[in-house]
Structures are given as structure tokens and as C-alpha cells.
Amino acid sequence: MAIRVSIVGASGYGGGELARLLAVHPEVQLVHLTAETKKDEEMSVLFPNLAGFVEGKTVEADATRLAADSDVVFLSLPSGVAMKLAPELLKEDAKVIDLSPDFRLKAPHLYDRWYKMAHASPEYLDEAVYGLPETHRVAIRTARLVANPGCYPAAAVIALAPLLQSGKVTRTGIIVDAKSGVSGAGRGLSMGTHFSEVNENVKAYNVTTHRHTPEIEQELSEVAGESITVTFTPHLIPMTRGILVTAYVPLAQKTSTADLMAVYREAYSSEPFVRIVTEGLPQTKATLGSNFCDVTVRVDERAGLAISIAAIDNLVKGASGCAIQNMNLMFGLPEETGLNVPGLYP
């Protein structure tokens, strides 16, 4: 029997990507596609690439109807909205996969500090499972509320987890330098993502204040078994999709690139969507449109640093593809179902 799926926030980039991937998922029936600002519009008009694959108009979100008709509801909404809607769905026995940041952080006070809002449903934060399969696979399988990772944290945690578990690096002085395409800012209009502002331009933004910082630190701290602090600096680059993370960690002992590559191969040997790059370096073009994360590591002996590099598509492994991977786990399907396709190149 097909899994009945609804998407709340189907008119945004994340929702549209969910619809694209779920439309060809062999075990899924799309039930409701909701949108508040683009209500009563044809999905094939909102997303011309979906013509012939996803038919019908977007509707207004009704929690009772969504829960009654759906086995799982994906929430692709701005921060602060899902924390109010998800509890209504859970009380009606629908499973929820939230692509917003509303349930990612375990400490309620962090929402006051980083999101400038009090959490509306803090009682659900402990229950929510952080949805990065590479680190939380077992818990995801039995979850009813999954907090899908942010795009930067997904790449950063995959890049850094093997290093922190290896004992070969320090747990201090970690720098995460990241670049993202413009689609990471969403579909809404803003001066900062206007074509004329972004084209032929690269700029850092939200230096020391980016909201993904506590998420990266939370997940790396769990991996390391102690509190981790990182310096995280994101950059906006003039392309549509993709994230490239370059992370720098001081070495704790003498080691080589070959030694650390062996660590990564062992750590990710059974991961269906992590590819260890041995020839060349990860690049965003190689992951475009796919759920893969390409990762590698190098040792700078002169500087005493391990340098890990990871590339993902921010809308797939950084959002919708990872969410579907989580759904597959929650419903006992092979993780690759509906997702095991190569990226687009060139």
C-alpha cells in the first residue's frame, strides 16, 4: 500500500523539490499540496518542470484534513510556523518531517538567542529526532517527528564527524568555511538575492551570527561526546544550487592524508549517499540534483591542519532528498528508494 504523503509549503523551492522527487517515488501517493501565498495555483505553473508529473492545484493547509488523509506530512515552511502546526498533526497520528529549523535545536533558549523568538512547542524538542541518517539512523526509524537538517549543517557534519571521532584532531579551533548557491535563500524576493546583486559577486554574510551555527555545534558535540565550538562563515556565490564546505581542524598528532582517508572510508563504507572522493576534490557540479554528499580530506603538514571538503546540492541532500531518505527509514523502505540517481553534469 502506498505511503500517503502531503507537502505543506509546496510552492517554495524546498516544497517543489519534494514534489519533483516524490512524484516518481515508487511507494508514494501525493495527497495534498498546500501553499498559503500561492493558493489555488497549478503546480505545473508554479514549477513548469513538474508538468505531466504533478497535477492539481495547491490548497490551504487544514491540519485535521492533512492528518486524516496522510501517513506523513512534510513541512517546508519559514521558521516559527511549523512549531505551531506540527503538534496539531502529531495529535492526529500523522508523522511529521519538518524541513524548517523549528525542531532541530534541543535547548529552547537557543531559539530566543538565534531566531529571536520563543519556541511555541518546547515540549516536542526532546522527542524530535535530528534527521541526518549518517548520524541518527536508528532513532529516525522509530520517530514520528523528524527535524530535517539545515543545508550547511548537513554538509559540515558529514565533513567533520569522522575527524572528531578519530582522535587525530583537536576539538578546538575548528573553522567551517562554506559557500552556497542563491536557492538556499528561498523563493521569496529580496534585494540581497536579486540577480544584479548576486551575479559576478561573492560575499560573506551573517558572520558570527548565522542561525546554523548552534545546529552545527550541537551535532558535532554529540559526535565528539563533548562540547564543540566552531567558527562558521557562510558565503553567497553566483550559482543556483550547491554547497561547498571546507573545514579546518588542528591536528592532535602527526598523521597523513592517507591515514585520514582510511578513516573516512571506514566511517562511510556503508553509507548509500556519501561518496569518498579519491581523485580530485569534491565539487558542487558533481552532486547537482542528487542526494549525494561528496567528501574528502587532506593533511597540511606544514600548518598542522586537517582540511575536510564536502559538496552537496542544498535543495536535495541539504533539504528535500534527505527528508525523503528519512521518510524511507521511518516506513521501513530501503533508504535509496526514489533517490538513487546520479547528479546532472555538466
CA distance 293 to 123: 33
How does DSSP assign 253-300, residue by residue?
S---HHHHHHHHHHHTTT-TTEEE--SS---GGGGTTSS-EEEEEEEE
Task: Report DSSP state, residue 213.
Answer: H
Q: Side-chain half-sphere of 312: how many Cα atoms within 13 Å?
A: 30
Q: Side-chain half-sphere of 94: how many Cα atoms within 13 Å?
A: 28
Nearest of 90, 29, 37 to residue 10 by alpha carbon: 37
How does DSSP assign 101-115, residue by residue?
STTT-S-THHHHHHS
Catalytic residues: 151
Sign of CA dihedral 28, 270, 285, 341: negative
Residue 247 contacts residue 158 (beta carbons within 8 Å): no
Task: Classify burial at 233, counting beta carbons within 10 Å of its beta carbon; exposed 0-12, middle 13-18, buried 19 or more.
Answer: middle
CA distance 53 to 86: 28
- Which residues have C-beta within 8 Å of that of residue 303, sequence separation ≥ 6? none
CA distance 42 to 106: 38
